[in-house]
Amino acid sequence: MSLERGPVSSLHLAVALDGAGWHPAAWREPDAQPDRLFTPAYWTGLAQQAERGLLDFITIEDGLDLQSDDRSGRDERTDRVRGRLDAVLIAARVAPVTRHIGLVPTAITTHTEPFHLSKAIATLDYVSGGRAGVRVQVAGRADTAAHFGRREIPPLSLERFTDPDVQRLVTEHFDEAADYVEVLRRLWDSWEDGAEIRDVATGRFIDRDRLHYTDFEGRWFSVKGPSITPRPPQGQPVVAALGHATVPYRLVARSADVGFVTPRDRQHAAEIVTEIQGEQEAAERQVAHLFGDLVVFLDDSPAAARARRDRLDELAGAEYTSDAHIFAGTPAELADLLLDWHEAGLTGFRLRPAALPHDLVQITGGLVPELQRRESFRAGYRAAGWPATLRGLLGLRRPANRYARVDA
């Protein structure tokens, strides 16, 4: 499937929302709101703040297990934020109180069914007026599999990550995710546009000829279709995926509209872009956007940002590490970095605020105006000639329906 690129602004920005922030001690900051983490007002407030900054979209983290500092299993810690609300339901709650910003909840593909997710994201697209997306993610922890009892996943560790058996399992997870996305897209297309006639005089609500079986048969899924939800306003909501290495890069290249990557520097960013472009050519499709992920500590001076990071590390009892590049400095310094990496081929950035709401406010009130002064970021949401949807905001055309008759 080829995705056509339309006119886009020079830089795209998103934020990744996770609990009280990405630093494990963020909930202990003076301006943190740990008592509101499980309330609607907390999430609507963050989304509205992001929208005031004209950001493209927010992503909302999720999982099927308790958060853990140990990536291979539970850590039993009690000094960290533990527990989540469902990301899709958060997005549905946020949708009515926002107007422009895209809403991209995380969904786990390893233990869930694409039919259920397809109608949930289609519903979100209707509720938001065409601003829905979904970030697909795999789950490789053994304790997560135990919640469902349908498959066994052996305990994994970073020390064994390069073992052939572990790499085979990782490849299977991402191949399953690619099939999952294919089923999502087929289900979203299973109703043609205009399939709902709603003709009271004739008594016909739908045109049955415009509903189609998906007839997907694969190793992991057998899905007849059609969906029970009419085709979403965007045709197909935006699909995003995070990749750190070749196997997940293939998922980005084969299946996603937006890819999140974690470069260390400008040269690494260029190497990642080149590798994914090679995967795109092999798959005969084009990923419209590649976003670089960064964790950000932002303050009015570099010293203040570093001091805040050091204070949070002390509270956490360990130096904070991440799969993504960690930046501590001023909004102007971050603008320098983003524009430098942008020249390496990244079309946008997904920023992970280290502490909420502090770093989100610094993004919307400091970084965005700085980029606007440099004429590198939009001054408003509407792009001439493009619909007020997430696809329109990203410059992505609405996909043609694969099942539609040629004469239609």
**Cα gap 119→353, rounded to integer Å:** 30
How far the first Cα of the chain sits from its last, in Å, is 20
**Cα gap 350→134, rounded to integer Å:** 14
**Cα gap 258→242, rounded to integer Å:** 9
Tokens of residue 42, six digits:
């907390």
153-167: burial string, b at 16+ Cβ within 10 Å, e else: beebeeeeeeeeebe
**Cα gap 324→269, rounded to integer Å:** 12
Q: Are 237 and 188 in contact (CB under 8 A)?
A: yes
Residue 106, C-beta contacts closer than 8 angstroms, at least 6 positions apart: 59, 60, 61, 62, 63, 87, 134, 135, 136, 137
Task: Give binding residues as ranges.
Answer: 62, 106
Task: Give binding residues for FMN as ranges.
Answer: 62, 106
> How, if at all, do strands 325-329 and 222-223 pair?
unpaired
72-86: burial string, b at 16+ Cβ within 10 Å, e else: beeeeeeebbeebbe
Tokens of residue 94, six digits:
């946020």
In this structure, the chain runs to a length of: 408
Q: Are 113 and 39 in contact (CB under 8 A)?
A: no
Q: What are φ and ψ of residue 353, in 5° steps?
A: -60, 125
Tokens of residue 321, six digits:
């590490």
